[in-house]
Amino acid sequence: MKLKITTFLLLLCTIITVQSQVLEPVKWSTSVEKISDTEYTLIAIATIDKGWHLYSQYVPEDGPIATAFTFETDNNFELIGKISEEKGKTIDDPVFGMRIKFFENKAEFKQRIKLLNEQLSIVKGEVEFMVCDDEQCLPPTYIDLDFDLNKGNQNADNSQTSEESGINFQAPETNEDVKTPIAKEIKKEEKGDENRGLFSIFIIAFLSGFAALLTPCVFPMIPMTVSFFTKQSKNRAAGIRNAIIYGISIIVIYVLLGTAVTAVFGADALNALATNVWFNIIFFLLLVVFAFSFLGAFELVLPHKWVNKVDRQADRGGLIGIFFMALALAIVSFSCTGPIVGTLLVEAASRGGIAPIVGMFGFSLAIALPFALFAAFPGWLNSLPKSGGWLNTVKVFLGFLELALAFKFLSQADLVLQLHILEREVFIAIWIAIFGTLSFYLFGKIKLPHDSPLTNISVGRLSLGLLVLSFTIYMVPGLWGAPLNLISAFPPPLDYAESPYGVGNSKVGGVMSSEHEELPEGAHLLAPHQILAFNNYDKGLAYAKKVGKPVMLDFTGWACVNCRKMEQNVWVEDQVLNSLKNDVVLISLYVDDKRKLEENEITESKLRPGKKLKYIGQKWSEFQTIRYKTNTQPFYVLMGHDEENLIEPVGYTPDADEYYEWLKTGIENYKKIGD
């Protein structure tokens, strides 16, 4: 009896200690909406602490852990459709290299069901989810959800938290004024999905409109149109007014196009497609068609009937006639503007919201401005360069850019399917070929259809050719593993390559692995740094005792953003990398490892009685929580062979010097103990 009481008190002390530092930033509640006697909508509501974010159900492969729901149907009911979720926020995550959707503050998920057993009163389910803030991620968490059908049409707050397991992990209070790095990054992306998706999209669209203005289909129209308005108008003021109306009409036409795309596809439809394999393949083929059109293989034209009808309307005069003149410009110039507009619309629509409208406004503004300005100041027409072969050069240049961009979409499809067809070296080789060919074209060594005879190369064309050639040469080291930071957002990541350790190197051979020609049992080389690492605690500790080095425990996760930031930005620093390779034995324990434990390793959770630890990640997550009283990642521990800490553990430490000082102090403390 005394033994049981002692055990209970020890467990109680552990729980009390743990709850002060273990975080639970998401609270779940449930409610039910009754639709009919047999149909209900189950609603799961996540309340998220400030500064944290919960990931969507729809996350690309190799991204963070998605939120996932399971229901115990037991032939008592059937699910109708998929679980719906709110709009949330979507950002371009620089670490995962993909667009990722997440929720802040609150998220609501709805699942419609149809009863097969009308006596059923409680629907049981489970939610698996992962949350991160600016410095840490939590391991995947599993929470039971109960939906009381008897409380249909009532906002039942059936809270589902860890209290059900006898433990109430209190999340620390958050300071509303705290501005964290991810919060800052999210703020950037808010003015990111509002700034980037709006302001940045506007700037890109405006520059694209300016590029379209310099094509053979549009540029010659400037003097012709301005001359028409100045001659047909009774006075200069009337000519300026008509030209301004003409410019506004161009803007209205393209903005209406953007509005139609937004209305048809909705705010997030294309956003959800952005990581879809078929979407990326179709868009790759579309861009290749656009590119070949620009290169002179054929012309994209709209039906002549449309042009004739619009021309007849343009002859009517007045405001209606001016509007149809603008529409005629849009149709006639389609062979040049169509590929640019198509690319812009899909890119803008993939960001969601009103981005297509803003994109078309920026594009049309760049085209409309010259007509209004030259009408106001006709003398400026004399300063315009004459139409000629340079316009076709601009068109061909855009064609090469379209072709290079196309392979980005094919690469995304290859990454999702993990086919390893378009690996990093292949992608870079294709870009070198494309831009190398472009530089030869600009130097006049290659001619394409519709090119004018080239007797000499202008200074501008020569300068552009040198710039493209320099860029081509810059990419060449990428074939041997150089990071190519200037274009890091385009090619596949460094580890998605034929030789992720550099050409001629591998995990078991080559220059980089010469330090560990024979790997110890259970060890591997952590790419791309070639650090000897273990994923098994016991084997790593045994090896550390054998070689006489301290242990560094790295509590990490495959989907932990800040873990990757530490590895990519801090561990690569010379002093830090040298210590990790030579002074410690690294044991990386992945708390989100979804591989199942062996049957003899499955145990009951000490923190949540009644729950089994089925996965490797759950084992290491509970190990971290009980021993170190925290559940956040990244989390680094330096310890001796007696498993006692050599220095206070640390979490996310983006300052490489600070991190190295922590490493150095812990290693020195180990040496003192050894002495």
| Chosen domain end from 503, 534, 553 | 503
Q: How many CB atoms lie within 10 A of CB 153?
A: 11
Percent of the chain with pLDDT over 70: 70
**pLDDT for 211:** 78
pLDDT at residue 392 greater than cutoff 60:
yes
- Looking at the fold, whether 145 and 195 belong to one and the same domain comes out as no
Tens digit of each residue's pLDDT (9 = 90 or more) over 223-280:
767 666 666 666 667 777 777 887 888 888 888 877 776 666 554 444 445 556 777 7
Residue 195's Cβ-side half-sphere holds a number of Cα atoms within 13 Å equal to: 10
Residue 578 maps to a domain? yes
- Looking at the fold, whether 276 and 151 belong to one and the same domain comes out as no
Rounded to an integer, what distance in angstroms lies between the CA atom of residue 56 and that of residue 418?
22
Nearest in space to 533 (alpha carbons), one of 571, 562, 565: 571
User: Average pLDDT, stretch 436-459?
Assistant: 85
User: Average pLDDT, stretch 581-599?
Assistant: 86
| Chosen domain end from 469, 503, 537 | 503
**pLDDT for 191:** 45
Tens digit of each residue's pLDDT (9 = 90 or more) over 596-641:
888 888 888 777 777 788 888 888 888 888 888 887 888 999 999 9
What confidence category does residue 438 fall into, taking pLDDT thresholds of 50, 70 and 90? Answer: very high
Range of the domain at 609: 520-674
Q: Which residue would you say has higher pLDDT here, 209 or 112? A: 112
Q: Which residue would you say has higher pLDDT here, 9 or 260? A: 260
Report the predicted TM-score, pTM, of the whole model to 2 decimal places.
Answer: 0.49
User: Average pLDDT, stretch 13-26?
Assistant: 57
Q: How many CB atoms lie within 10 A of CB 68?
A: 15
- Looking at the fold, whether 262 and 194 belong to one and the same domain comes out as yes
What confidence category does residue 172 fall into, taking pLDDT thresholds of 50, 70 and 90? Answer: very low
Tens digit of each residue's pLDDT (9 = 90 or more) over 44-90:
999 988 888 888 888 776 667 788 888 888 888 888 888 888 888 87
Cα 228 to Cα 313, 325, 371, 405, 426, distances in angstroms: 16, 11, 11, 38, 52
User: Average pLDDT, stretch 649-668?
Assistant: 91
Contact present, 591 and 620 (Cβ < 8 Å):
yes
Nearest in space to 159 (alpha carbons), one of 178, 146, 171: 146
**pLDDT for 599:** 81
Nearest in space to 593 (alpha carbons), one of 628, 623, 630: 623
- Looking at the fold, whether 368 and 297 belong to one and the same domain comes out as yes
Rounded to an integer, what distance in angstroms lies between the CA atom of residue 210 and that of residue 363?
8
- Looking at the fold, whether 326 and 411 belong to one and the same domain comes out as no
- Looking at the fold, whether 150 and 38 belong to one and the same domain comes out as yes
Residue 63 maps to a domain? yes
- Looking at the fold, whether 355 and 395 belong to one and the same domain comes out as no
User: Average pLDDT, stretch 554-567?
Assistant: 80
- Looking at the fold, whether 470 and 577 belong to one and the same domain comes out as no
pLDDT at residue 584 greater than cutoff 90:
yes
548 backbone φψ class: left, alpha, beta (φ>0; ψ -120 to 50): left
Residue 626 maps to a domain? yes
H or E segment to which residue 151 belongs? none
What sign does the CA torsion over 480, 486, 492, 493 have?
positive
Q: Give the single-character DSSP code of 135.
A: S
Q: Which residue would you say has higher pLDDT here, 441 or 448? A: 441
**pLDDT for 542:** 92
Residue 273 maps to a domain? yes
**pLDDT for 500:** 61
User: Average pLDDT, stretch 430-458?
Assistant: 87
User: Average pLDDT, stretch 361-369?
Assistant: 84
